[in-house]
Amino acid sequence: MSTDNETGIYLDHHATTPVDDRVLSAMEPIFTNDYGNPASNNNHRQGSRANNHVKKARKRLMSALNATRTEEIIFTSGATESDNLAIKGTMRYAREQSEGTHLITGATEHDAVLDAADALTDEGFEVTILPVDEYGQVDPEDVRDAIRDETVLVSLMAANNEVGTIAPIEEIGRITSEEDVLFHTDAVQAVGYLDLDVDELEIDLMSLSGHKIYGPKGVGALYVRYGSTHIEPLVHGGGHERGWRSGTLNTPGIVGLAKAIKLAESERTDRSAKVRTLRDRFWEGLDEELDEIYINGHPDDRLPNNLNVSFVGVDNQRLVGRLSDDGVYAATGSACSTMETKESHVLTGMLSDDNRIESSIRFGFGKDNTESEIEEAVEVVVNNVKRLRKFNDMV
């Protein structure tokens, strides 16, 4: 079977999202009219106009996060850079100030976080990696128990990018605040679905990305709490972004990011309700037709647009390929780690059943998906799972 939709049925919105037309419209004048370098704001009007766009974008992000100062928003090239800047920058600064050398993170974090932690280990820092339960959640009390005198930073994501599990970041933030330890969260998947009030959640550093929320690729941000949090820059140069991230600012991308975040926040209720309905209908359709399928991740504390399913007895790589051939686009795991085929570290951290791990598929639903697409996608998935299982029985 092949879908009639020329562009296919896109169910991989955790990997990236299409740029919203309203975001694109907001960006277009920066390419054609206000194309100056924001750093030239004291030299001419083009620079001044570009700088004003950046200022407005910074204020918009400040408002969305309930930050207290525009200086707390640092623009980056995306979440990977933001995660690295938050973790390496904070830890290196702390060691320079003799404030500690210990980092705490979790087993199911994004590769950007875990690889940054590995790099710090090579530099002589101490790293504790906390386990998760069968649903992918870290126990907040494990965080408390892991904190010691040398601990500088706890880095745990707000919502998992593979299984959609939402972390108890409010409890974790309260613990880190009580213990006088900094708290960083990768909130890339949570924007537009969770309330990310950095003051209420007692978050010191937060990573954001544009292309996960219908904004452009190549732009992100890092929130850094003013006064109590200091970081060592990874990139040196002209001293942009308070000296923490040098390099000419991506003005069109920054404008697009700000617009995307504004839309995500203002439309949060409607978007969440829609994708949750589509996800639940998709699951109900699969569950009616197939046996031995399991949802991975927390049954309740999960993102409304996420469904990670194990189709026991089916190789996930083969199934994804078959689905793609039939015009349904899903994934076996994080798009940031699929340049090489390997088991998901998220699922291996949660589960001991290899059959579930090796047969897992991630479906990410978006605001532009339709009910008819979901019905067609169910048919495509069911037919291919049955076909692959039948083939396996024959060999």
| Catalytically active residues, by annotation | 336
Distances (CA, A) of 256 to 31, 58, 311: 12, 12, 38
Going through 84-196 in order, the beta strands assigned E by DSSP cover 102-106, 126-130, 151-155, 182-186
What is the rounded CA–CA span in Å between residue 379 and residue 107? 35
Question: Which 3 state secondary structure label does DSSP give 198?
Answer: coil
What is the rounded CA–CA span in Å between residue 199 and residue 67? 7
Among 209, 206, 207, 332, residue whose Cα is nearest residue 264: 209
Question: Which 3 state secondary structure label does DSSP give 260?
Answer: helix
| Pairing verdict, β 126-130 and 73-76 | unpaired
Angle of CA points 113, 321, 209, to nearest 5°:
30
What is the rounded CA–CA span in Å between residue 254 and residue 77? 10
What is the rounded CA–CA span in Å between residue 130 and residue 166? 16
Q: Which residue has the tokens 């991989």?
A: 12
Question: Which 3 state secondary structure label does DSSP give 308?
Answer: strand
What is the rounded CA–CA span in Å between residue 247 and residue 128? 33
Amino acid at the residue 153: L
Output DSSP code: residue 108.
Answer: T
Question: How many C-beta neighbours within 10 Å does residue 242 have?
Answer: 14
Amino acid at the residue 160: N
CA–chain centroid gap for 156, Å, is 12
What is the rounded CA–CA span in Å between residue 52 and residue 355? 54
Q: Are 131 and 267 in contact (CB under 8 A)?
A: no
Question: Which 3 state secondary structure label does DSSP give 306?
Answer: strand
- The pair of structure tokens assigned to 255 is 């404008």
Angle of CA points 183, 111, 9, to nearest 5°:
110
